[in-house]
Chain A
Amino acid sequence: MTKAFVKSGASLSSQYRATFQKTVLACAALLVALAIVIVVTTLVGSESLPRASSICALVSFGRTSCGLTQDQFDILFQIRLPRILLGAAVGGSLATAGASYQALLRNPLAEPYLLGISNGAAVGTMTALVFFGSNEWSRPLLAFAGALVATFAVYRLARGRTGATPERLVLAGVIVTTFLSSVIVFVTTMMDVTRIRSFTFWLLGDLSSTSETLLPIAILIAIAGAILLAANARSLNLLMLGERDAFDLGVEVGRVRIVVFLIASLLVGSSVAASGSVGYVGLVVPHLVRLSLGSDNRLTIPAAAIGGALFVIIADSVARTIIAPRELPVGAITALIGAPLFIYLLKRN
């Protein structure tokens, strides 16, 4: 890839930095991969569908049935596709939020789930369920509020006189997480017994219960959030090297911090409201992206958004097929991959 750039006349220095062309190329490649993965994973499941007709129906966006029976058509478009699209929205949201928290807090270990921000959103969602159960809109709204409160709590707790060290941030995350967990237990006791089981499943991150209202909201917020965060990426590049340095170089630190906290909380809120707390996505995906594409947030953030979608879709396909016909919550699979990576990163720090 580098060779092609040198040939096309770009200066040699372009190989040492992210450029607009590199970003477009990487995102285009990831989007192609995403399209392929979406098509392939719709074919995977406890009910096997005829391959050629399913692909034909998918490519026509459901306008023709291509010889699928009504049942098969419904499985494809009413069950699998919404679930996969929700996985994409949730993965994209969490990975983008993770990448931005990491840059803003100058900490490769920052992650919505580990910092307790997902738990904040979960408390918000549960409150909405208990008090405004019939109104689905209230869930992402209160989840956003919960995520925002948790974000500021962690930020305040982690800030020592010398700034936030990685260890201090992780500890602050543990405190906020455990505190909110007990709030969650408290709220759970206020629910009726029949709902508790589906609730524990949801808490671990579960994509099986999508609703027609929440899915478009989640997709819309994921896309808008990723674009808005990418628009602040150059400021985040400098914030990643220290708030004082960023201030000296011309970044309006306070404004960028509030904008990023708001958008990241919105992303976490909407994804938790739709699917519970899927853990470690915000850690695994940005880390892999940085490893392969470098640390420039103008490239990392959009690539993490698409990569997060890929990661959760694949993890969820594993979750719903590995012990078929029974299912695992997707959060169990992501944690299985994420926790060892977290330990590795903590040791390397």
Chain B
Amino acid sequence: MARALKRTYRTYVFRELNMTSLQAKNLVINYGDRVAVDGVSLTLQPGTVTAIIGPNGAGKSTLLRALNGYVRPATGSVQLDGQPIDQLNRRTIGRRIAVVAQEADLRFPITVLEFVLGGRYAWATNAAWGWETENDVKVAEAVIVETELAALSGRLMNELSGGERQRAVLARALATEAQFLLLDEPTANLDMSHQLSLLAVVRSRCNKRACAALVVTHDINLASEFADQVLLMRDGRMIRVGKPKDVLESAVLEDVFGVEVLVDAHPITGAPRVTPVHRVN
């Protein structure tokens, strides 16, 4: 109760003071003849984590990619602080919206610190001659500590394990100090403990700095534990949106995914727990 009150208060304060918002209105996105996203509207609230779930090809990643302007919608619009995103320059957007995709392409040797400093690009001014300022380095070193990479900051990226590399990708996104984090299957290649620690970093960021995170994931139970809001998609349409316990109902999930599922409450956390049922004929 106290937590919910605190969040409502914080949301209210940030809304009023900063007019911070990222909004999609009636997005329709086509890939050739195929409609990938079909009339989705969505608002990211400061301090909250939203998870998008749904079967493969439901348009989850496409929707996420449209929110920072990478994919252009056929109709509808994305607005950052009330301004259409296609009218803003990339640096402005880069300071406000960060994307965590799966592993980066690493054909050149580059250290973890150099990689994370890449997140400061959008803050560059001509005054610095294209070099990072002391503040840039300070921010990068802080997020390296936040993502538990301090011992590795001088190592080359391609010497790291998959989990460590994904943390570096997250660190680079956090180094942008963006208020909106878009995460595209950030935990897909990670083991259980790395999945938890990565999402815990995102969760605490959102709580401390009133960030809003949008996570595309196939892991419904992880979404249930970490998200304030779950958005269920199928065939480009938003089927349901709401609190995890309102969206994660067995009848809805069985319809969308086409498998029998058991939904119960997690005995320790109380969050809805989804288990597919496999019956042997």
Chain A residues in contact with chain B, CB under 8 A? Answer: 11, 13, 15-20, 103, 106-108, 166, 231, 233-235, 237-238, 240-242, 244-245, 247-252, 290, 294-296, 298, 349
Give the contact stretch, choosing among B15-23, B46-54, B116-124: B116-124
**Does the CB pair B113–A17 fall under 8 Å?**
yes
* A19-B131, A20-B129, A248-B70 known; A13+B141 contact, CB < 8 A: yes
**Does the CB pair B113–A244 fall under 8 Å?**
no
Closest to B154 in A: A16
Residues of the A chain whose Cβ atoms lie less than 8 Å from the Cβ of B62: none
B70-102 CB contacts (< 8 Å) to partner A: 70, 89-91, 93-95, 97-99, 101
B132-182 CB contacts (< 8 Å) to partner A: 132, 137, 141, 153-154, 172, 176
Closest to B96 in A: A250
Does B109 interact with chain A (Cβ within 8 Å)?
yes
Can you list 19 A-B pairs, Cβ within 8 angstroms, ordered by A? A13-B113, A16-B111, A16-B112, A19-B131, A107-B107, A108-B107, A108-B108, A166-B107, A231-B130, A237-B118, A241-B105, A241-B115, A242-B104, A245-B99, A245-B105, A249-B122, A250-B94, A252-B90, A294-B114
Residues of the A chain whose Cβ atoms lie less than 8 Å from the Cβ of B101: 244-245, 248
**Does the CB pair A241–B109 fall under 8 Å?**
no
**Does the CB pair B131–A20 fall under 8 Å?**
yes
* A248-B70, A248-B99, A298-B130 known; A240+B108 contact, CB < 8 A: yes
Residues of the A chain whose Cβ atoms lie less than 8 Å from the Cβ of B137: 11, 13
**Does the CB pair A16–B107 fall under 8 Å?**
no
* A16-B111, A234-B130 known; A250+B121 contact, CB < 8 A: yes
A349–B106 Cα distance when bound, in Å, is: 11
A247–B114 Cα distance when bound, in Å, is: 18
A294–B122 Cα distance when bound, in Å, is: 23
Q: A241-B105, A251-B90 are in contact. List 18 more A-B contacts (CB 8 A).
A: A11-B137, A13-B141, A16-B111, A16-B114, A106-B107, A107-B107, A166-B107, A235-B121, A244-B101, A245-B101, A245-B104, A248-B94, A248-B98, A249-B98, A249-B119, A290-B108, A294-B110, A294-B114
Does B68 interact with chain A (Cβ within 8 Å)?
yes
* A15-B154, A234-B130, A298-B131 known; A250+B114 contact, CB < 8 A: no
Residues of the A chain whose Cβ atoms lie less than 8 Å from the Cβ of B131: 19-20, 298
Residues of the B chain whose Cβ atoms lie less than 8 Å from the Cβ of A237: 114, 118
* A17-B114, A250-B94 known; A242+B105 contact, CB < 8 A: yes
Chain B residues in contact with chain A, CB under 8 A? Answer: 68, 70, 89-91, 93-95, 97-99, 101, 104-115, 117-119, 121-122, 124, 129-132, 137, 141, 153-154, 172, 176
* A234-B124, A237-B118, A295-B110 known; A106+B105 contact, CB < 8 A: yes
Residues of the A chain whose Cβ atoms lie less than 8 Å from the Cβ of B70: 244, 247-248
Closest approach, in angstroms, between the C-beta of A101 and any C-beta of chain B? 13
Picked from A13, A17, A20, A241, the residue with its CB within 8 Å of the CB of B106 is: A241
Closest approach, in angstroms, between the C-beta of B30 and any C-beta of chain A? 17
**Does the CB pair B121–A251 fall under 8 Å?**
yes
**Does the CB pair A247–B118 fall under 8 Å?**
no
Closest approach, in angstroms, between the C-beta of B272 and any C-beta of chain A? 32
Picked from B94, B107, B113, the residue with its CB within 8 Å of the CB of A249 is: B94
A231–B126 Cα distance when bound, in Å, is: 10
Picked from B97, B109, B172, the residue with its CB within 8 Å of the CB of A290 is: B109
A44–B113 Cα distance when bound, in Å, is: 46
A13–B113 Cα distance when bound, in Å, is: 8
A250–B92 Cα distance when bound, in Å, is: 7
